[in-house]
């Protein structure tokens, strides 16, 4: 489920949330929003809601039922 990471103290990464909430003028030229438009246009199912904050429920279910359980650090 997780993706291999080049961060030395992490084996893999996993993000069940997509999108963001704009909070300042600096968000006007957000690279992530452009990336989401591209991924949605490519048919990526995790981006059907565009840039709206979305919790990908299927990813949460897969991780919670998986045999290979790991400790995840959640930073908010």
Q: Which residue has the higher pLDDT, 50 or 69?
A: 50
pLDDT score recorded for residue 16 = 81
Confidence of residue 75 (pLDDT cuts 50, 70, 90): very low
Token pair recorded at residue 7: 């961060």
Overall pTM surpassing 0.75 (yes/no):
no
> In angstroms, what CA-CA distances link 70 with 12, 17, 66?
10, 18, 9
**Could you tell me the end-to-end alpha-carbon distance of the chain, in angstroms, rounded to an integer?**
21
Strands (E), the chain: 3-4, 12-13, 17-18, 54-55
pLDDT score recorded for residue 53 = 92
> Is the dihedral angle over the CA atoms 7, 69, 43, 74 positive or is it negative?
negative
For 6-52, what is each residue's pLDDT tens digit?
A: 777 777 677 788 899 989 998 888 999 999 999 999 998 888 899 99
């Amino acid at each position: 489920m997780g993706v291999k990471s080049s961060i030395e103290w992490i084996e893999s990464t996993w993000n069940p949330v997509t999108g963001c909430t704009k909070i300042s003028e600096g968000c006007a030229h957000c690279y992530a929003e452009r990336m989401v438009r591209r991924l949605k246009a490519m048919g990526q199912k995790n981006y059907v809601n565009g840039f709206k904050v979305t919790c990908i429920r299927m990813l949460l279910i897969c991780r919670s039922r998986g045999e290979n359980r790991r400790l995840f650090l959640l930073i908010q």
